[in-house]
Amino acid sequence: MDIQVIINSMIELFIMIFIGYLLFKLGVFDKNFNQKLTKLILHVTMPALIINSVLEQTVKPQAKTVEMTFFVAVAMYVLMPVAGIIVAKLIKADIKKQGLYAFMMTFSNVGFMGFPIISAIYGGTAVFYTAIINIIFNVASFTIGVMLLKYGGGANTKISFSKIFSPGVIFSVLAVFIYIFNIRFTATIEKTIGNLGSTTTPLAMLLMGSTLATMPVRQVFNEGRIYLFCIIKQIIIPVILYPTVKFFIKDNLLFGVVMVLLMMPVATNAIMFTIEYNADEKLAAKSVFISTVMSLVTIPLIIFLFKIS
């Protein structure tokens, strides 16, 4: 495993978070701008990222393995919310926060950390598997994820038809059709989609820093329940699931991809979704930040102990 990949990703992450923090403190960002930036990411740049994740793949693996990848991804995003609710109750989270904890347990950072780390360890085919899982991730986050945020009254909004069939879901389904029918666009259009999608990560990191800036520094680190949650999510759950994943997934490459994704920290879209759906964005921002810091130790540790790479 190339530990330098994780270190470089972490450095980039914290630089962008810090810039977002400064921009809020300097008055360039404010809460109103954060809400508008959230809509820009969820409705424009993230859909572009979803489409580009399929367009940029040049090598297609065997159909049987692709089907297995879809099946595994669906299973992950159906079962993990259940595990998330159980964990939220075990750590005695407030009823209004249990849905958010379940959301954060279910949706890990596939985009920013998952793709570069998996690329460094396994190469291009593994990245394609990750892109397939990322499609299901996006469909699930805009459907199951929204329902989780609503759980226990955590999100003060109605789940409307238009929100469930949001740009994220629509473009995720479109990405599946692009893959199945091998649809291509002109080089100019594909480059435009790629460039637009590539802004998602830096914008999301700036948003995270700006959200953290709304809290006193001590409040970022003062919630002990988050640390317990991160230990369960990033160490205990992957260790418990290791034999089950090994039993059902016979393809070594796909097995490695799934295990690495299970170790990822909380997805940055937790912040954007909590802002969009009026849930606890401060808890989301703190959890993303702390889980990402912890991942610098937890990911190499588990990969080394289980010799996953």
Question: Does 258 or 57 have the greater pLDDT score?
Answer: 258
Please report the pLDDT score of residue 264 as a whole number: 92
Least confident of 8-17, 218-227, 240-249: 8-17
Q: Could you tell me if residue 83 is inside a domain? A: yes
Nearest to 148 by CA among 90, 78, 200, 92: 78
Q: Could you tell me if residue 24 is inside a domain? A: yes
* Structural domain boundaries, residue 21: 3-301
Which CATH number fits the domain that encloses residue 246? 1.20.1530.20
The pair of structure tokens assigned to 229 is: 């949650």
CB distance 129 to 257 below 8 Å: yes
Q: Could you tell me if residue 121 is inside a domain? A: yes
pLDDT tens digits, one per residue of 48-106: 888 887 887 776 667 788 889 999 999 999 999 999 999 999 999 999 999 999 999 99
Please report the pLDDT score of residue 21 as a whole number: 94
CB distance 133 to 72 below 8 Å: yes
Q: Could you tell me if residue 307 is inside a domain? A: no
Asked whether the predicted pLDDT for residue 218 surpasses 90, the reply is no
Least confident of 39-43, 60-64, 101-105, 133-137: 60-64
Q: Could you tell me if residue 69 is inside a domain? A: yes
Please report the pLDDT score of residue 157 as a whole number: 60
pLDDT tens digits, one per residue of 263-307: 999 998 899 899 888 889 999 999 998 998 888 788 888 877 777
Phi and psi at residue 266, to the nearest 5°: -60, 135
Q: Could you tell me if residue 308 is inside a domain? A: no
Angstrom CA distances, 118 to 96, 211, 280, 289, stand at 35, 29, 31, 21
Q: What is the mean pLDDT of the chain?
A: 86
Tokens 């780390």 sit on residue: 117
DSSP 61: -
Please report the pLDDT score of residue 302 as a whole number: 83
pTM (two decimals): 0.82
Please report the pLDDT score of residue 1 as a whole number: 52
Q: Residue 244, exposed/middle/buried by CB under 10 A (0-12, 13-18, 19+)?
A: exposed
Asked whether the predicted pLDDT for residue 14 surpasses 90, the reply is no
Q: How many domains does the chain have?
A: 1
Most confident by average pLDDT, 9-18, 85-94, 126-135, 158-167: 85-94
Percent of the chain, pLDDT > 70?
Answer: 90
